[in-house]
Structure 1
Amino acid sequence: MSYEFWIGARYAGLARSRRKGGGGDRFVSFIAASSMVGIALGVAALIVVLSVMNGFQKEVRDRMLSVLPHIELYAPRMAPDEVLSQWKNIARMAEENPEVKGAAPFVAGQGMIVRGETLSGVQIRGIDPKLDAAVSDVAEQMVSGELTSLVPGSFSIVLGNYLAHTLGVGMGDTVLVLAPQGSISPAGFTPRMRQFTVTGLFSSGYYEFDASMAFINYEDAAKVFRDSGQTGVRLRIADMQKAPLVASELRAALPPYVQAQDWTQNNRTWFAAVQTEKRMMFLILALIVAVAAFNLLSSLVMAVKDKRSDIAILRTLGATPREVARIFLVQGSLIGVVGTLLGVGFGMLVAFNIGVIVPFIERMLGVQFLPQQVYFISELPSDPQMTDILIIAITSLVLSLLATLYPSWRASSLQPAEVLRHD
């Protein structure tokens, strides 16, 4: 071990001094330890926050796509009845793509559900209950009744559990569904309406869907919405991340009157907002690491000032300015490396166990950090990604190394004669 490394490690508090007393060494080691802790806390905070944001995005995405299709095919220039009569041909052409694993028809529209004096706006999805399991997980999310109860002509409806609670309805109750289109008569505008019987309740775990979505048979939906609803084919693919690529391939393979839209387009605003928020959180929390690096710079400057006599003695013994600079480069680098490793270890420990830590804190304090009505999910998810962890670690190391440059140059530029004359 070179003497520069040994001295730098001793100043960083990572090597033991044989000298008795050592008050100056203890002071330098203390400020080095405080810088190390600052870097570790900054790195850990970055890892935990970005892991939670990744987990939040993944959890919400998965819950959304348990109800929504990966890709939707529709023909806006064709009448809904014509699309429904040809949906099997469109599905067969789409299933020639090896990524497509399931297809089912749909009729989508927005309307109002009325129960007594309570009225609520809803997204209504007309589906084929026998084929829907191939494109969504709604059948597995039923908390009451069965999705197969949506028999054509029965005008049955399956509601989200929060929507049913808002309307005050349960199994077997009737609700009135109003379509936004209607007929104009001498008496005025009359909205199109139909009475439905509640035959099931579902819970996707995604509050927005559970509070504003209902399913009916696609043939019944075609009668209610007629020309106003969007009609087409829902697809599920093997890898949801390839949805944009598969949608592009389908546009090229299907007839020109058929359009394909994937889930990233349908929810573009939400996912773009999450990505922007993640970038901003990284920049904001990276300032914590930057402050810790500035603290490291300050501690090294203090160490240089405290060790002026030692530096002068080393120079008189033949140490070159480069060797003196390497001592403080080693000190700062070791503080940065050890602080970064401690931060990565602590951050990953918290990130991988946040599902246990947060509920424990909630029980201790008697609070709920994530009300489902506000944040869509009730549990704090975490998804640590190695790419983020590597970027955070590299950023911390680079800032730490940059913080050592000025103090090292300052130490190497000290003149032994001037220092010893004043001391």
Structure 2
Amino acid sequence: MTDEAAPALNKGTRAFSRFEWLVAGRYLRARRKDAFISVIAALTMTGVAIGVATLIVVMSVMNGFRAELLTKILGLNGHFTAIPIESQFTDYKETVAALEQVDGVKFAVYFVEGQVLASGPGSSTGVTVRGMDAENLEKLDLLYGAAVQGGWDSWDDSRGVAIGYRLAQKLGVSLGDQVQLINPDGQMTPFGSTPQVRSYPVNVIFDLGMVEFDSFFLYMPIGPAQDFFKMYEDVLKPGQEPLDPMASDEEIDAAYMRVGQASAAEIFINNPDDIATMRGRLQADQTMRPMVLTDWQQRNETFFSALQVERVVMFTILSMIILVAAFNIISSLVMLVKDKSADIAVLRTMGATRGSIMRIFSMTGTAIGVVGTLVGLVLGLIVAANAEGLRAFVSNTLGVAIFPPEVFFLSTLPSKTDPYEVTVVVCLALGLSFLATIYPAWRAAQYDPVEALRYE
């Protein structure tokens, strides 16, 4: 022991004295005869680092996955879906205008929706058709900015369709090709209903980055959609007297006008989590027609609940890595205490207290946990920030699809680091590392100097 360290023994009652730091630091430095213990300490530190990094990366990816899904889902589907009741939804423009005046509503859109069979040279598949006009499409930034081929110019007069790039690949069509739509609810004949078959040119191909929307959604102007799904009714023009039953077709066309209908309206609010308050405001507005409101949490309750359960389970399972590393700290410290039994006895005979011995070995074990936690923190943040680049590199190198979009719904691997969760992971690792040092340090403090030196 150095001369400058000896006076510190008289200060053994002071927490973390210079003497204790010197001894703990010396035990952490590798020497030839302590090489085995040093290797175990290094492996333990590596285990802590891997556990912390893994937790940060996995939680960041799951946060990004949830946030990206939420952004995509709520980018096209509103926070509320308003379905009219009691009568046909012919006053959809007035209803949407009234909805947008409610405090907290960002905007609202109306649409016509139906299920059809889409057919192309490649194959046929079921799709969801949505009819929307250009004014409403411009409100959906996610869709409006996702066009990779074609554009939305003159959309209302185009009588064409917009499809996702995955749907275009499946049908074997490209920009300008014809897509055949088959509606089973077609014309009524004396022999029953016949399917309605019409062809439309592809004017826009979009890429939303979400498999479900890029594979199963097809958009068309609202006028052709109303005509295709028969979402209209013929009413007498204002001031027009009822016609004679024997009136000609020309007289009927001149006396009646076609009034279009919408299927429902989507309502987008400023705060997606403020569902309860906004539901009350929308239902309390007496200026609007009766509607059934369905919010995004109800529509996706099972899906997002499953994601939440998965996050909790993954956090619990991966925390076991840190717990195993903490047990390694215990084993390495027990071996260190056994190896340094003679040193402990000498320190005790020179005046070191049991508390001082306990603090020395606590600092030794905690230092392993602190260094491992810091290394894991830096490594985890770097990997989480470059998750998609690393996924693409590994996937291209091995030739294996990692996180295939057909399974995970998204085309890229998102990552969103939550500072609160990172803090929890770091505190968990530091806490377990400290707790792991208590028993070995206590055992070291119980050594009897006489017994330890008897056979030296």
TM-score bracket for this pair, using the shorter chain length: 0.7 to 0.9
- Measured after TM superposition, the shift of residue 392 of structure 1 is 0.6
Match of 2:149 among 128, 144, 148: 144
For 1:134, what is the secondary structure of its paired residue? coil
Whichever of the two has the greater Rg, that structure is 2
SS of the aligned residue for 1:123 comes to: strand
Aligned counterpart, 1:403:
436
Secondary structure in structure 1 of the residue aligned to 2:156: coil
After superposition, the Cα gap between the structure-2 partners of 1:175 and 1:26, relative to the gap in structure 1 and judged at 3 Å, is closer
Q: Is the alpha carbon distance of 1:268 and 1:220 closer, same or farther for their aligned partners in structure 2, counting shifts above 3 Å?
A: farther
Report the CA distance shift for 1:247/1:221 in structure 2 as closer, same or farther (over 3 A).
Answer: farther
The answer as to 2:92 corresponding to 1:87 is yes
- On the 8 A contact 1:43/1:344 being kept in 2, the answer is yes
309-318 vs 231-240, which moves further:
231-240
* 3-state SS of 1:211 partner: helix
Question: How big is the shift at 1:368?
Answer: 4.0
Check if 1:286 corresponds to 2:319.
yes
In the TM superposition, residue 116 of structure 1 has moved relative to its aligned partner by 6.3
Once the two structures are superposed, residues 252-285 of structure 1 have per-residue CA deviations (whole angstroms, 9 ceiling, x without a partner) of 4365822333333333333222222222221121
Which of 203, 217, 224 aligns to 1:213? It is 217
Identify unmatched segments of 5+ residues in structure 1. 17-21
CA distance in 1, matches of 2:413, 2:282: 37
Stretches (4+) displaced over 6 A: 227-230
Task: Give the 3 Å change call, closer, same or farther, for CA 353–201 of structure 1 in structure 2.
Answer: closer
Tell me by how many angstroms 1:293 deviates.
Answer: 0.6
Amino acid at match of 1:40: A
**For residues 175 and 268 of structure 2, what CA distance do their matches in structure 1 show?**
30
1:235 aligned counterpart, secondary structure: strand
Cα distance, 1:11 vs. partner?
2.1
Measure how far apart 1:117 and its partner are. 8.5
Counterpart position of 2:13: none
Query: Against the structure 1 CA distance between its residues 173 and 215, is the aligned structure 2 distance closer, same or farther, given a 3 Å change threshold?
Result: same
Give the 3-state SS of the residue equivalent to 2:263 in structure 1. Answer: strand
Give 3-state SS (helix, strand or coil) of 1:105's partner: strand
Cα displacement string for residues 53-94 of structure 1 (whole angstroms, at most 9, x for unaligned residues): 22222233323333333332222x234xx32x2223332332
Paired amino acid for 2:19: Y
- The Cα RMSD (Å) is 2.9
Q: Is the 8 A contact 2:164 2:217 kept in 1?
A: yes
Q: Which moved more, 1:386-395 or 1:358-367?
A: 358-367
2:126 equivalent to 1:104: no
Q: Which amino acid aligns with 1:38?
A: G
The alignment's TM-score, normalised by the length of structure 1, stands at 0.86
Q: Is the 8 A contact 1:68 1:136 kept in 2?
A: no
**Match for 2:46 among 21, 37, 62?**
37
Asked if 1 retains the 8 angstrom alpha-carbon contact of 2:156 and 2:222, the reply is no
Equivalent runs, 1:308-323 vs 2, <5 Å: 308-323=341-356
User: In the alignment, what sits opposite 2:194?
Assistant: 190
Is the Cα contact below 8 Å between 1:69 and 1:235 reproduced in 2? yes
Shift of 1:206: 1.3
Q: Which amino acid aligns with 1:8?
A: A
Cα distance in 2 between the residues matched to 1:186 and 1:283: 65
Q: Could you say which residue in structure 2 is the equivalent of 1:176?
A: 180
| 1:120, distance to aligned residue in structure 2 (A) | 0.9
**Per the alignment, in what secondary structure is the counterpart of residue 249 of structure 1?**
helix
Note if 1:166 corresponds to 2:170.
Answer: yes
TM, length-normalised to structure 2: 0.80
In structure 2, relative to structure 1, the CA distance for the partners of 1:226 and 1:413 (3 Å cut) is farther
Match of 1:222 among 215, 219, 226: 226
Q: CA deviation at 1:10?
A: 2.5
One-letter amino acid of the counterpart of residue 65, structure 2:
F
2:108 alignment partner, SS class: strand
Kindly provide the amino acid, as one letter, of the partner of residue 371 in structure 1.
P
Residue 126 of structure 1 corresponds to 131
CA contact (8 A) 1:110 1:180 kept: no
The one-letter code sitting in structure 1 at the alignment partner of 2:68 is E
* Cα contact 2:211–2:411 (8 A) shared by 1: no
Percent identity for Structure 1 against Structure 2: 37
Q: 1:114 to 1:364 in 2, by over 3 A?
A: closer
Offset at residue 390 of structure 1 (A): 0.6
Q: State the one-letter code of the partner of 2:194.
A: T
Stretch moving more, 350-359 or 319-328: 350-359
Alpha-carbon distance in structure 1 between the residues aligned to 2:447 and 2:289: 77
Q: 1:114 to 1:244 in 2, by over 3 A?
A: farther
* 1:78 and 2:83 are equivalent in the alignment: no
> Does 2:65 match 1:60?
no
**Secondary structure at the residue paired with 1:201?**
strand
Q: Structure 2 unaligned segments of length 5 or more: list them.
A: 1-16, 233-260
Change (3 A) 1:104 1:350: same
Amino acid at match of 1:144: Q
Q: Distance in 2 between matches of 1:149 and 1:196?
A: 15
